Structure 1
Amino acid sequence: MKWIYIAAGIALFVKMLVLPNSAPIVPDFSIVESIVKDGGIPNAVTVIILRNRLYDTIFEVVVFTIAIMGAYFLLANEQPSCAIYRFTDQPSIVLARLGATIAALVSIELAIRGHLSPGGGFAAGVAGGTAIGLIAITSSPEWMQEIYQRYHAATWEKVSVLVFIVLAAITLAGVELPHGEMGALLSGGIVPLLNILVAVKVALGSWAVILVFIRYRGLL
């Protein structure tokens, strides 16, 4: 049987070397330029994620939400960890919090201007989650949990998901905001708002998962 596989592999290799690939006939215009023009913003990746393939992005946000719920569910029957490990030496704390400050600023920049430059909601959320994680490993878990509950982070996370789904459904129905001037901060119609909602969702969801793993594992 293995000789059949070897022969098939050799035949495929010869085919790639001998037979030319049929080049597709493309129209005389740039696909990227067309995407940018349709979205009204210079970031073609964001246009694809939050406009051309918005249906997929909706389910990506839903899958992330289910993953957070799964972490809660799988660890719900376990006993909280008795030992919580975190940085205690002052140099490590200073460096970690400096990194958290930089990551938080990057997160805000990517969320607000992600439709104009490389970046976007998911990247901004990851940067925000990184900032929260760096603060978590330098602070007491009780303080982190208190801040999480005081500002109703869980509620804001759920609200951001619901608002994102509603706005995305309205967009898929064909209702769009004016695109504005190309390259301006207030351009791209509803895309910048969707970017910010995704960033809030990912950052707060990461915060929830971090608290769960600190509580039940003692370490990130």
Structure 2
Amino acid sequence: MAGKPKLYYLNGRGRMESIRWLLAAAGVEFVEDFLTTREQYEKLICDGDLLFQQVPMVEIDGMKLVQTRAILNYIAEKYNLHGKTPKEKALIDMYAEGAADLMQLIMMYPFLQPPQQEKQLDLILQRATIRYFPVYEKILKDHGRDFLVGDQLSLADVQLLEAILMVKEKHADSLSNFPFLQDYEVRISNIPTIAKFLQPGSQRKPIPDENYVKIVKRVFQL
């Protein structure tokens, strides 16, 4: 019997958080190996474990997978979270990429200086409420079902909920003009595996703080 997937990253969100979310949504238990020093990172590189000398890396099914999108797509395929047809898969990937673009703006925030952080907050709210949320609001309205694609949970739903919660951490009322997204947030958050991941004590990581930023800079020599 295969062991639990093993995740190699820092003890924080970054590019690994969406992978944690997806595994949790699939009901898959996983273990983590946290990088805290440059030496740990360099050892993974020297051992040939990191194909492109980058993390995240996930050991799963005898493979050492790198590149976030490849990891997410493999997990989504393995656990029936990637649609039933080529058309559904394309829509799921498209919607997931939109959510990932929005989350990337938020991931940059803790690494900016205070003057730039204020501008970034304005940009996050603007992009969320003008570019991204209106699109997902219309998708949900037009589709008329509980999920973004088809009739079951997918990678796109997991990533959109993650993005919504990240934006709300910065702007609590960001969904005020989006009733379909408000209902959607509640609905997807109450799926048992996701509700469990949202509880205190789960492997979900907190908002990045100054200590996390220091560790990132130390490990990656930024």
Interval containing the TM-score (normalised by the shorter chain)? under 0.3
Query: Which is helix-richer, 1 or 2?
Result: 1
CA radius of gyration, larger in: 1
Normalising by structure 1, we get a TM-score of 0.27
Normalising by structure 2, we get a TM-score of 0.26
